[in-house]
Amino acid sequence: MSLAHLMACHDCDLLQRIPSVPEGAAALCRRCGTGLIRNKPKSFQRPLALLFAGAILFVMFNAFPFLTVKKEGLQHKTHVVTGIRQLADQSMEALAALVAINLLIVTGLHLLASLYVLVPVSLNRKVPGMFRVFRYLRLLQPWHMVEIFMLGVLVSMVKLAKMAQIIPGVAVYSLTAFIFVMAAASAAIDPHEVWERWEAPR
């Protein structure tokens, strides 16, 4: 029996035959309606361009000033990492580590791993452990929280608006652009395209 055209639904385990899906369409599970596969345009050019842009913006929002507070002649400049460092100084190391992981470490790893897999795939080459790395990439996905941090920036600005003057720096704009670029990149990647490069050992 060939398993090539069969697929089991991730959410209800129903075994079903997958018809050929036209480009831009998706196949849904017959029983529970969850998406099984989505046929995205077959190109790695767009996601790669977006990922390189993302890498530049990642460096930018870490390097440039983030928010500046002005109050009664006092000026206090901060960077994205300032809050993490401040939490660690207040002996909240666990919290500082969690924020650092969700905001910077997972984000950075995600970028590196995506490039590690997609650059060779787009050149039709294979690199050692690429399927393993792609698996870690899928597992990291929910811990990637830059867009939630951005909402946090907006809430904090409103909260402090009456107390002091807050000036957004270059990092705020780079962070905003980064969120859109990364969302567009992950929407453009068809994970199925990468998995299909694997050939079963005979």
Partner 1 sequence: MKKPILTALRAGLIACSVCHLLCHAGPPEATSRALKCPRCGATLHSRKPDSIARTWALVIAACIFYIPANVLPMTTVTSLGMVQSDTIMSGVIYFVQSGSWPIALIIFIASVFVPLLKLGILGYLLVSVQLRSHYRPKDRTRLYLITEAVGRWSMLDIFVVTILVALVNLGALATIQAGPAALHFAAVVVITMVAAMSFDPRLIWDAKEKRHE
Could you tell me the smallest distance in angstroms from the CB atom of residue 85 to partner 1? 8
User: Using CB under 8 A, which of 43, 45, 86, 165 touches partner 1?
Assistant: 86
| Cβ 45 vs Cβ 154: under 8 Å | no
By CB under 8 A, tell whether 104 contacts partner 1: no
Could you tell me the smallest distance in angstroms from the CB atom of residue 49 to partner 1? 25
Long-range contacts of 29-38 (CB under 8 A, 24+ apart): 34/9, 34/10, 36/7, 36/9, 36/10, 37/7, 37/192, 38/190, 38/192
By CB under 8 A, tell whether 34 contacts partner 1: yes
User: Using CB under 8 A, which of 63, 131, 165, 170 touches partner 1?
Assistant: 131
Phi, psi dihedral angles at 27 (to 5 degrees)? -100, 130
By CB under 8 A, tell whether 165 contacts partner 1: no
By CB under 8 A, tell whether 72 contacts partner 1: yes
Residues 177-196, interacting with partner 1 (CB under 8 A): 191, 195
| Cβ 167 vs Cβ 70: under 8 Å | yes
By CB under 8 A, tell whether 92 contacts partner 1: yes
Q: What is the DSSP string of 61-79?
A: HHHS--EEEEETTEEEE--
By CB under 8 A, tell whether 87 contacts partner 1: yes
C-alpha to C-alpha distance for 32 and 59, rounded to whole angstroms? 42
The three-point CA angle 170-173-58 to 5° equals 85
Residues that bind partner 1 (CB under 8 A): 3, 6-15, 31-34, 66-67, 69, 71-72, 74, 76, 78, 82-84, 86-87, 90, 92, 94-95, 98-99, 102-103, 131-132, 134-135, 138-139, 142-143, 145, 148-149, 151-153, 155-156, 158-160, 162-164, 166, 191, 195, 198, 200-201
